[in-house]
Amino acid sequence: RMSRHAKKLRDHDINPCLAETDATTKCMNDNNYNKDLCTDYFLKYKNCRKFWHEIMMQRKRSGVKPEMPSAEERKKILESMG
């Protein structure tokens, strides 16, 4: 069974970078945990976290709840950016 924390990380509404997390994990598994072969995946994950952290901090400063947009909201934000 998954811990409550692990379940939260698997929740699309809580973790905006689930796809990047999974892609990185798959790359590591496929390449015998050779980080050098997965640099692009780590970079995409890092950029994703940075992007959504900025959005979260912006919403927090503006008093918007919840601070992390839902998966549906995030999709609209990304679409509006092109």
Name the pTM for this structure: 0.84
Residue 42 belongs to domain spanning: 13-81
Encoding tokens for residue 22?
């999974």
Average pLDDT score over the chain: 93
- Which pLDDT tens digit goes with each residue over 27-37? 999 999 999 99
Domain-located, residue 6: no
Burial group, residue 14, by CB count within 10 angstroms (0-12, 13-18, 19+)? middle
Number of domains comprising the chain? 1
Mean pLDDT, rounded, for 41-54? 97
User: Residue 3: inside a domain, yes or no?
Assistant: no
Q: Is residue 70 part of a domain?
A: yes
Note whether residue 1 is domain-resident: no
Residue 5 in any domain: the answer is no
Checking if the pLDDT of 5 tops 90, the result is no
Peptide bond into 66 cis (omega under 30): yes
Residue 8, domain member (yes or no) = no
- Whether 65 is in a domain gets the answer yes
Percentage with pLDDT > 70 across the chain:
100
